[in-house]
Amino acid sequence: MAAGRRAVLAAMAGGLLAGCTGPKSGGGDSATPSSGPAGADSGAAPPPTPGTTPSATASTTRPPVTRAEIVARYGRSEPHTWGFDAPGVVHSLPRTTRDIALTFDACGGPGGSGYDRALIDLLRARHIPATLFLNSRWIDANPAVFHRLAGDPLFEIANHGTRHRPLSVTGRSAYGIPGTKGAGEVYDEIAGNQAKLARLLGAPPRFFRSGTAYCDDIAARIVTDLGERFVSFSVNGDGGATFTAEQVHTTVASARAGSIVLCHMNHPEGGTAGGIASAVPHLLARGHRFVRLSDGLHRT
């Protein structure tokens, strides 16, 4: 593992859990829609045609995989990895472009169901696209906000699980959060929120990230079997929503071409919005462009 990657993972170990503990107060959405497609100098990828969602490009032709099939297929499988790396897990975009993907988790439940309106307003004002990983409980706590976000072509909605659990077939924990126990619980964690999002969006989400971003190799295969891609990160942008605005700026502004940046949008009291606000112009000045995962990964 490269030294830079180790540094990223070390930072993750020091902060990600803090972004998933303690309920926080929510905030209302300004309901200010994006004023139009990104300008030539905005660094944003052109949004899709209004009225569609990135999820609509996901395949809906395959027959659904049942819980019983997953348990039969993997119920006796022994995992060989645990952490942020497993076969099939995506950590970066193709490095043939200057693209960077900003991704924001909303953990829900004990992880916090707040809403960082300042962050979303900033992205809208600068026409910066992003991928939003939403937990089922956060959606339940913020239904009106969810519908406005889902209707904004700047954003695509991704699956952050049903109960925000690390994805394990043996019950392993991460940062004190108990993981799923067995292939059946892995299925429940993915498929519960997948079904909710498919119902709300009209098509299933394309991408999944577990609570804490931890998984084992068997659980990662189950994500694939359920038609989603497990997306991790290459830049831990806000240390689990524990960083100050200055720390967020320093970390995010150092992102390289192809980076997938992980931050949080459920802790408005944190420094995420302020750090992103100052890091975005810096990255644009270096010639980077911001894309949603569906746009940045369409070549892979």
pLDDT tens digits, one per residue of 250-287: 999 999 999 999 999 999 999 999 999 999 999 999 99
Residue-by-residue DSSP string for 164-183: ---B-SS---BTTBPPP-SH
| φ/ψ (deg, to 5) at 177 | -95, 120
Beta bridge partners of 231: 90
Q: Provide the percentage of residues in the chain whose pLDDT is more than 70.
A: 78
Tens digit of pLDDT for each residue in 157-193? 999 999 999 999 999 999 999 999 999 999 999 999 9
- Is residue 60 within a helix (H) or strand (E), and if so which, with residue range? none
DSSP one-letter code for 231: B
The rounded radius of gyration (Å) of the Cα atoms in the chain is 18
Least Cα distance to 256 among 129, 138, 97 occurs for 97
Whether the Cβ atoms of residue 241 and residue 251 lie closer than 8 Å to each other: no
The contacts of residue 261 (CB under 8 Å, 6+ apart) are 100, 101, 102, 103, 233, 234, 235, 237, 252, 255
Residue 278 burial class via C-beta count within 10 angstroms: exposed 0-12, middle 13-18, buried 19 and up? middle
Task: Give the contacts of 243 (CB within 8 A, at least 6 positions apart).
Answer: 15, 237, 251, 270, 271, 272, 275
Helix (H) / strand (E) element for 230: namely strand 229-230
Stretch among 11-25, 164-178, 206-220 having the lowest mean pLDDT: 11-25
Looking up tokens 């659990």 gives 165
Instruction: Give the whole-angstrom CA distance, residue 39 versus residue 140.
Output: 34
Q: Residue 103: name the closest of 88, 93, 112 by CA.
A: 93
- Residue 233, φ and ψ in degrees, nearest 5: -165, 160
Pairing of strands 215-216, 82-83: antiparallel
Q: For the chain, which residues make up each domain, given as ranges?
A: 73-296
Residue 44 reports pLDDT greater than 50: yes
Burial of 104 (0-12, 13-18, 19+ CB in 10 A): buried
Asked if pLDDT for residue 248 goes beyond 50, the answer is yes
Residue 300's pLDDT band (boundaries 50, 70, 90)?
Answer: low
Distance between CA atoms of 127 and 5, rounded to whole angstroms? 29
Question: Could you tell me how far CA 189 lies from the centroid of its own chain?
Answer: 15
pLDDT confidence of residue 64: 84
For the domain spanning 73-296, the CATH number is: 3.20.20.370
pLDDT on residue 42: 52
